[in-house]
Amino acid sequence: MSVELRPQRADVVAARPLAPDSPARARVRQRGLPLVDLVVILGLIGLTYSLAQAASLWSAPLATHVEIDLDAAALPGYALASIVRMAAAYVLSLAFSLVYGRLTASGRWAERLLLPLLDILQSIPILSFMPGVVLALVALFPRSNTGLELSAIILIFTSQAWNLAFSFYQSLRTIPADLGEAATIARLNGWRRFTRLELPFATIGLVWNSMMSWAGGWFFLIASEQFTLGDKDFRLRGLGSYLKAAADAGNVGALLLGLATLIAIIVMLDQLLWRPLVAWSEKFRFEQTESGEVATSPVLTALRRSRVIEWLQERAWPAIGSGLDSVARPLQRQRGERLTAEGGTSGNQVGAIGRIILVIVFGLAALWGVTSLAHLLGDLNTDDWLALGPAAGATFVRTAAALLIGMLWTVPLGVAIGLNPRLARRAQPLVQMAASVPATALFPVLLLLVLGLPGGLNIAAVALMLLGTQWYILFNVIAGAQAIPSDLREAATIYRLSGWRRWRSLILPAIFPYLLTGLITATGGAWNASIVSEYVTFGGDTYQTTGLGALIADAANNAEYARLAAGTLVMSALVVLINRLLWRRLYNSAERRYRLD
């Protein structure tokens, strides 16, 4: 994939694969790096083995209770199982985000319909739909673990998808007008416009939000591998269930060993995956001049000299791209010819009919959902309804406090990392480790430290919300700062903008759309994190405070589905209301005022 609608830079040209018959390629072939090819081949073999192991876990007989082995020898297998679940959920999340973001940005009618739905989806806590998802899939696959594995992947998906979808949508809405006009002049429509303009322009934000998605997946991994529904206890063997079992048993040694394994995985992923992707994404920065400093990766440099990767770049990927183009082009031509034959008015009528059908389908689904929900909520008494108001107010205050504290330190640090590649090389793995360590595994220790203090559990709840949401802001700010064109930074230097003037005139306007994306996803994440921060089980004891999260967690553990639905309804309504009244208005302002036009 390449960016055809942007000025060429020296570092972009250098980053591209050498021509097959070029003297430079011949010299690389003569030198050869068989070790790199060996590592790539071993990696492909390892991937095949991982998929085979996952298949064996999926086909294992279903058990209502599984003992988690806290022995160190069990950790590698548990870690591999969790990585496979995370990867499957991420692939599903990325595909969903690209499709959903593209549909949402396709027109005002789609935005009015799909954006509120995305707000609702990101605000629904995992525990609210976990019982229905788990029971339905277990009933669908009663003799194997397939249903439980699918449940875990779907639940991890819900912690990875929303920030990716918001990031891609935000990028589509802020594509510079001159690039859009150039794409129109070049007659790039449909698939070619997506691969040549839209996806490259969104790459930097997607890469950093992918890191955040994995961090969010690790955060909710414990909840995704542990399913307690009334008297039924479903568990999946994995790193998350290992950490939960170690915390419940009070086994500090096993807990530290599990965290060390998690940190080792994070470091490995940073070196082998994320750092190369960050360095690779530099070539998609929109700018008119060559950047002075760019991110580097020894792994990416080595991979560019691999013969296996060379074959994939020169033969496999072009063949796949040509195949997709050959499929998409006739469909686009047929659609254009049909619209031309029908005439503009008729084509508009066809589009209007399609929108009407879509609205009717969504309306019928909403009507069915409202009817079912009203029937379920009929079981609640007056005291249950009166408890929702104070609970919602308490959680709102904690959420606002967590967002404010998180923004105060993530914005300056994110800008520093995004504008300084040297600092990014040192800070990126540290940030990923801090963001990926499940705070739920550390929460018992934090709880013991603050429980004796005034308002101890409230302080601990805000701290856990902060640990679970501040990273959404940080990673988006880093992406925004990294995407600032070098020519704008050089202009700010020439005009001697420094201090607050530089922030007001350059940095804040440039990162503002990314910051809003981070705040929107962090808001939904904070409300979701309230479930695990306001209701904690440790050492056989349960600690809870007033809040919607505690109400939802208590209802889920006691299989009180009416209270669970009521709490979820109030939480979703609050998140949508905040997004509509605050974040969406700021989003529209950022789209009008802070585009790179």
CATH of the domain at 408: 1.10.3720.10
Q: Which domain holds residue 352?
A: 343-378
Distance CA 158, CA 121 (A): 8
Residues of the chain above pLDDT 70, percent: 78
Check residues 69 and 441 and name the one with the higher pLDDT: 69
Q: Is the pLDDT of residue 219 over 90?
A: no
CA–CA distances in Å: residue 315 to residues 31, 95, 307, 312, 321: 22, 24, 12, 5, 10
Segment 542-576, tens digit of pLDDT: 777 888 888 888 887 777 878 888 888 888 888 88
Same domain? For 40 and 101 the reply is: yes
Copy the structure tokens of residue 591: 């789209």
Q: Taking residues 362-380, report their average pLDDT.
A: 77
Most confident of 111-115, 437-441, 498-502: 498-502
**Sign of the C-alpha dihedral computed for residues 402, 407, 413 and 417 taken in this order:** positive
First to last CA, the chain: 24
330 assigned to some structural domain:
no
The whole-number pLDDT of residue 96 equals 93
Reported pTM: 0.73
Tens digit of pLDDT for each residue in 304-359? 777 777 777 676 666 666 666 666 566 555 555 554 454 544 445 555 676 677 67
In 327-393, beta strands by DSSP E? none
CA-CA distance, 351 to 111, in Å (whole number)? Answer: 15
Distance of CA 99 to the CA centre of its chain: 14
pLDDT single digits (tens) 220-231: 777 778 776 656
Render pLDDT for 171-210 as a digit per residue (tens, 0 to 9): 888 888 888 888 888 887 777 888 888 888 899 889 988 9
Of the chain, the percentage scoring pLDDT greater than 90 comes to 7
Give 26's pLDDT tier (boundaries 50, 70, 90). Answer: very low
Residue 263 sits in the same domain as residue 364 = no
Q: Is the pLDDT of residue 17 over 50?
A: no
356 and 442 assigned to the same domain:
no
Q: What pLDDT digit, counting tens, does each position of 139-152 carry? A: 788 777 788 888 88
275 and 359 both lie in a single domain: no
**pLDDT at 270 > cutoff 70:** yes
24 within domain boundaries: no
Residue 5 in any domain: the answer is no
What Å distances lie between residue 139 and 223, 227, 237, 369, 559, CA to CA?
20, 15, 20, 22, 18
In a domain, 331, yes or no: no
* pLDDT computed for residue 454 by the predictor: 65
pLDDT above 80 (res 250):
no
Q: Is residue 286 part of a domain?
A: no
d(CA 216, CA 211): 9
Asked if the structure places residue 319 within a domain, the reply is no
**How does pLDDT run across 48-65, given as a tens digit for each residue?**
877 777 777 777 777 767
User: What pairs with residue 227 in β-bridges?
Assistant: 234
Q: Domain count of the chain?
A: 2
Taking 50 as the threshold, does the pLDDT of residue 5 lie above it? Answer: no
Residues 96 and 40 in one domain: yes
Judge if 445 and 371 occupy the same domain. no
From 328, 355, 378, the end of a domain falls on: 378
- Residues 406-463 pLDDT 10s: 999 999 999 998 888 788 878 877 887 777 666 665 666 666 676 666 666 778 788 8
Q: Do 358 and 404 belong to one domain?
A: no
Q: Which long-range contacts (CB under 8 A, 24 or more apart) does 50-55 make?
A: 50/80, 50/83, 50/84, 51/84, 53/77, 53/80, 53/81, 53/84, 54/81, 54/84, 54/149
Distance from C-alpha of 83 to C-alpha of 272, rounded to nearest angstrom: 14
Q: Of the candidates 378, 401, 423, which is a domain's last residue? A: 378
Q: How far is CA 135 from CA 227, 314, 368, in A?
A: 10, 47, 20
Query: E strands within 140-210?
Result: none
pLDDT at 411: 93
